[in-house]
Amino acid sequence: MTAMCDVAFLLLSFFVMTATAKQPEPKPVDTPASTVIDKLPEDGVGTITVGDKEVFFTIPRNIRRSTLERISTEKGIQFTEGEYKAFENTEGFGVPLNQVKGLLALSPAKRNAPGFQKGIPYDTINDQLTDWVKQAREANKAMYDAQLQEGKITAEEFGKKGDLAIAIKGDAKEDFMTVKRVIDILQEQKKNKFFLITGLRNKDF
Amino acid sequence: MAELNTGGGGGDGKKVRSKKSNPGVDLTAMVDLAFLLITFFMLTTTLSKPQSMPLVMPDKDVKDQPRTDTKIPEERMMTILIGKDNKILWYFGILKTPIIPPTVAAFGKDGIRKEIIKNTIYAKQHTTKADEGLIVNIKASDAASYKNLVDILDEMAINKVQLYAIGDITPEETTLLKDKGLY
């Protein structure tokens, strides 16, 4: 019994220390598998989730606030301090711009209820995904620009991190056309290099 | 470790003896709790970071820069068209005068991979430079799924194709897919 107890607590402490809680996502998707074993960079990656023809955007935490500030000035929507705080704690979101305020007023559990968020509009007439990606990239660039001016990072590091990395997390069953449209949106703003998030495939594929 | 310190002393010889016998504490509840917590943390943690496939698309905007057309040798050029129901149509060379005419193939190691390996050997024979190999143009139709795209990009990585790009499908190629019943 004593030994079992010891092992149990050893494991427990291990898991407590390594734990990074799974963030609730508004749109859980089943990514396709691949044999590529490159890992996604840990931070500083904006993720575009695509599933059921709906698009969601996850902005890295450190630029979430500044991105919303930029959106606020560009689109003329005022946000309160509380709303900024709520936005900083929102992992991913997918609502049209005019519903962002309403979304932030809700509790996180309600926000991430399946089917509640209907995705960011990304069609050619009302292309809000472009705005979000553009502002996030600019916010990221501005942040590292400031750090470069202060001499906190070198020019080499700036070259690596200055442009926000974008990952596309698509559902395996998603139509290619939807993903293609997202790729086109990125390419329109000269973002030609990005990641596709995939799952692990067994060896004998 | 898990013993109760049965204190108390004095008395006669019999009581000293019972002190030695050391009754154990019931740990069951504690272990239960510990395992419950382990299970909880195991299920909520994401130990492995997601995998990612880097994808570089060719620059689209050519208005502001002079066009530099690079000729692609047709004996190294393979075009892969992705149709519906996880089917591939591929041809080698130019569509009008193909070296190998359009052929239907499936995904996986017995399907498209064999063809890519064959074509890589063919392409290698038709070049003098050691670092030059097969060039693959991937064109997915409207009927393709995202999984098909990832699968074919994965094939490129498995077969170490020297150069590949995702292109837009042309109307002729769509007609071709329709003729084969893949659209």
Determine, yes or no, domain membership for B143.
yes
Residues on chain A touching B58 (C-beta within 8 angstroms): 192
Could you say which DSSP state residue A39 is in? B
Determine, yes or no, domain membership for B2.
no
Contact A141, A67 (CB under 8 A): no
pTM above 0.90, yes or no: no
pLDDT band at B2 (very low <50, low <70, confident <90, very high): low
pLDDT digits (tens, 9 = 90+) for B117-164: 888 888 888 777 777 788 888 888 888 888 888 888 888 888 888 888
pLDDT band at A205 (very low <50, low <70, confident <90, very high): low
Could you list the residue range(s) of the whole structural domain that residue B174 is in?
Answer: 74-179
How many domains does chain B contain in total? 1
Residues 6+ positions from B48 with CB-CB distance below 8 Å: none
When the pLDDT of each residue in chain B is averaged and rounded to a whole number, the result is 78
Nearest of A23, A33, A42, A44 to residue A170 by alpha carbon: A33
Q: Which of B41, B55, B108 sits opposite A19 (nearest CB)?
A: B41
User: What is the Cα–Cα distance from A130 to A116, expressed in whole angstroms?
Assistant: 22
pLDDT at B66: 61
Determine, yes or no, domain membership for B171.
yes
The CATH number covering residue B93 comes to 3.30.420
B26-51 mean pLDDT: 81
Chain-centroid distance of CA B123 in Å reads 25
Determine, yes or no, domain membership for B63.
no
Candidates B60, B145, B159, B183: best to mutate against A (most CBs of A within 10 A) is B145
Is A205 in contact with B141 (Cβ distance < 8 A)?
A: no
CA distance A201 to chain B (A): 10
Checking B56-60 for CB contacts under 8 A at 24+ apart, the result is: B56/A192, B56/A193, B57/A183, B57/A187, B57/A192, B57/A193, B57/B165, B57/B166, B58/A192, B58/B165, B59/A190, B59/A192, B60/A187, B60/A188, B60/A192
pLDDT band at B114 (very low <50, low <70, confident <90, very high): confident
Residues 6+ positions from B78 with CB-CB distance below 8 Å: B90, B91, B92, B116, B119, B123, B134, B135, B136, B137
ipTM of the complex: 0.79
pLDDT digits (tens, 9 = 90+) for A127-177: 888 889 999 999 998 988 888 888 888 888 887 788 888 999 988 888 888
Residues on chain B touching A197 (C-beta within 8 angstroms): 50-53
Residues on chain B touching A179 (C-beta within 8 angstroms): 146, 149
In sequence order, what E strands does chain A have? 33-34, 45-51, 54-58, 165-170, 193-200
Residues on chain B touching A183 (C-beta within 8 angstroms): 57
